[in-house]
């Protein structure tokens, strides 16, 4: 019929969504600054073997606590390891554990919050009471308890951040689900005879993605900060794995003789966290204009 709009294919819809997402990012100066900081560290992590000529684990006992020089642009630490190499390879650590841990937290939070918000009743009450108990603990204290119980490792850091982040995500998903389940398209899906699982996954969850994407970006910044904090407390990755938090912990008692390991790792953590937060805040503010 004349005057009707052609239906978009799945590929065309995905392209349209990508263009919309990019337009939101590049419309915000704050988001662009944050994205530039994040991309800088992403590139450093990917190109670590190229941007550093030293192995981050190599110990040169003839070059202990050296200041920055042409050979070592950020100096060396108390074991003669190149500081820039450990910063570059440490970016791989935090940029791997951060997204994985937040993604795990979202999987767990969605698995709890979606059925709680959809069914309500005793299931909602039981899930919320358990989550409230977890949220009663200060976040870093909860991480310390979990890792102290199971031991420090990359996997356990991911598990701790996932368990600590899941309650807040579940509460957000629950609130969104309770609102969306009353919409007409959900009622239409029930009339078609769709199963509850299909309705939750195909009708409700996709319509929660806007707030969830913003929350995911914000939690990425928190995860980077907590991974650094756990490394400083000795509850992160096991030595001698390059870890920004561990670099600060190892060097803070030697700052009077060699400040470069601590300063370099601190600047790296701060710049990455600021970048992630600026990117998330810029996307959130810009996306609210289209609501």
> pLDDT in tens for each of the 291 residues of the chain?
444 445 556 566 667 666 666 666 677 788 889 999 999 999 999 999 999 989 999 998 888 989 999 899 999 999 999 999 999 999 999 999 999 999 999 999 999 999 999 998 899 999 999 999 888 888 888 899 989 888 888 899 999 999 999 999 999 999 999 999 888 888 898 888 889 899 999 989 988 888 898 899 889 989 999 999 999 988 888 888 899 999 999 888 888 888 999 999 999 999 999 999 999 888 887 776 655
For residue 253, the model assigns a pLDDT of 82
For residue 16, the model assigns a pLDDT of 60
Fold of 38-56+71-288: MetI-like fold (1.10.3720)
Per-domain residue ranges of the chain: 38-56+71-288
Kindly report the pTM of this predicted structure: 0.86
For residue 14, the model assigns a pLDDT of 65
How many Å from the N-terminal Cα to the C-terminal Cα in the chain? 32
Helices 209-232 and 154-180, axial angle in degrees (round to 10):
160
Decide: residue 277, CB within 10 A, 0-12 exposed, 13-18 middle, 19+ buried. Answer: buried
Residue environment code for 178-195, b if the CB has 16+ CB neighbours within 10 A, otherwise e: bebbeeeebeebeeeeee
Among residues 228, 234, 255, the alpha carbon closest in space to that of 75 is found at 255
Please list the residues that pair with 76 across neighbouring strands.
82
For residue 5, the model assigns a pLDDT of 42
């Amino acid at each position: 019929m004349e005057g009707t709009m052609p239906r978009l294919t799945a590929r065309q819809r995905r392209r349209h969504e990508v263009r919309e997402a990019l337009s939101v990012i590049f419309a915000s100066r704050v988001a662009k600054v944050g994205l530039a900081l994040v991309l800088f560290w992403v590139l450093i992590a990917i190109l670590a073997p190229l941007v550093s000529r030293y192995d981050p684990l190599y110990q040169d006992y003839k070059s202990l606590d050296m200041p920055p020089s042409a050979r070592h642009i950020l100096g060396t630490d108390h074991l003669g390891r190149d500081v820039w190499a450990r910063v570059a390879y440490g970016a791989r650590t935090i940029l791997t554990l951060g997204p994985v841990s937040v993604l795990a937290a979202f999987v767990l939070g969605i698995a709890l919050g979606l059925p709680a918000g959809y069914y309500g009743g005793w299931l909602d009450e039981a899930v919320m009471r358990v989550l409230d108990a977890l949220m009663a603990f200060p976040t870093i204290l909860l991480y310390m308890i979990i890792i102290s119980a199971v031991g420090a490792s990359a996997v356990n850091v991911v598990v701790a951040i996932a368990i600590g982040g899941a309650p807040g995500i579940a509460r957000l998903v629950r609130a969104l689900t309770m609102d969306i389940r009353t919409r007409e398209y959900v009622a239409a899906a029930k009339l078609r005879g769709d199963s509850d699982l299909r309705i939750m996954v195909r009708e409700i969850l996709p319509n929660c993605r806007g707030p969830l994407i913003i929350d995911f970006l914000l939690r990425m910044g928190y995860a980077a900060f907590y991974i650094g904090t756990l490394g400083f407390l000795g509850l992160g990755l096991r030595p001698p794995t390059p870890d920004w938090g561990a670099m600060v912990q190892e060097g803070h008692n030697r700052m009077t003789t060699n400040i470069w390991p601590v300063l370099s790792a601190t600047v790296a953590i701060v710049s990455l966290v600021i970048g992630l937060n600026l990117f998330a805040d810029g996307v959130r503010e810009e996306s609210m204009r289209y609501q």
